[in-house]
Amino acid sequence: MTTTPHSRPQPTLVGEHTLLMTAVTSRANDVLAEADQDRWPTAALQQFLDYLHLEVLRQVVDEEWLLFRNSHHAPHQLTKLREDHLEVRRLIDDLNEAASNDADRSPQRLAKMIRDLLTKLQAHIDSEQQVLGDSTSEIPSMSALGSTPHSWYALTSGAVIDLDAVPGPQGIDATLGRLLRLRAGEQLELRASSDPYPIWRRLALADPAGYGFTYLQTGPPQWRVQLDRRPSN
């Protein structure tokens, strides 16, 4: 039986939380695997922090703007959830500060901070779902309310971005966000079933001399473009 767009189940907050926590835990485990061997996990830690800033903190903001503002729950219940959000922000800020402190790099302290963050984040998710409704409820996900799906992070964070997999204006914005985060000398490839030149045009408006744009293949049926971030002068 074919599933039509109208018959697809609406994404729920519970499912979104599960996806988010799975991704956070996976990246945290990459850091802990090195820290528990008394090594400073520079690359894994940066990837973990990138995800926390770009996805976890976005979830916090989206919940407060898209969900809490329209909630009919008692004010004191939402106040506790907002306090949890502030604590999550604080723990991420502390972790970011620890990563930036070259003079005091303790893998053991870092591992404890990450485990504390995971514990707090899971406790908050459990509390939020209990306050807003149980696992059988139909609380909409933030993506159902207009936010970018968290599943797109993996689709835009690699060396190749398939634009057909991140469609529409949201997909363009997600791709542009990734391109604007490229470091000097870093490059990636865009693939699409239509010419991605409009993305290049918007990128050039934002940073006229900051990027190189080279066609590797011109369609149809497929376009491939290499984009690279030029070193600043």
Q: Is residue 210's pLDDT more than 80?
A: yes
Q: Report the CATH number of the 13-132 domain.
A: 1.20.120
| Residue 94 to residue 28: CA distance in whole angstroms | 15
Q: By percentage, how much of the chain surpasses pLDDT 70?
A: 93
pLDDT of residue 180: 87
Q: Is residue 135's pLDDT more than 70?
A: no
User: How would CATH label the architecture of 152-229?
Assistant: 3-Layer(aba) Sandwich (3.40)
pLDDT of residue 126: 92
Mean pLDDT computed over every residue of the chain: 88
Strands 211-217 and 223-229: antiparallel
pLDDT of residue 209: 80
Residue located via tokens 């770009």 = 54
For the entire predicted model, the pTM comes to 0.84
| Residue 168 to residue 173: CA distance in whole angstroms | 9
Strands 187-192 and 160-162: parallel
Residue 2 pLDDT grade (very low, low, confident, very high; cuts 50, 70, 90): very low
Residue 70 pLDDT grade (very low, low, confident, very high; cuts 50, 70, 90): confident
The 10s digit of each residue's pLDDT in 31-67 is 999 999 999 999 999 999 999 999 999 999 999 888 8
What token pair was written down for 218? 């011109």
The domains of the chain are located at: 13-132, 152-229
Q: Is residue 221's pLDDT more than 70?
A: yes
- Residues with Cβ within 8 Å of 137's Cβ and at least 6 positions away in sequence, in order, are 12, 14
The 10s digit of each residue's pLDDT in 5-21 is 445 667 889 999 999 99
Q: Is residue 134's pLDDT more than 70?
A: no
3-state secondary structure of 102: coil
What token pair was written down for 16? 């979104």
Contact present, 25 and 118 (Cβ < 8 Å) = yes
Q: Give the residue ranges of DSSP H helices in the chain.
A: 13-35, 42-51, 57-62, 75-100, 107-132, 152-156, 168-180, 197-206
Contact present, 174 and 152 (Cβ < 8 Å) = yes
The 10s digit of each residue's pLDDT in 73-124 is 777 778 889 999 999 999 999 999 999 988 888 999 999 999 999 999 999 9
Q: Is residue 208's pLDDT more than 70?
A: yes
Single-letter amino acid code for the residue at 221: P
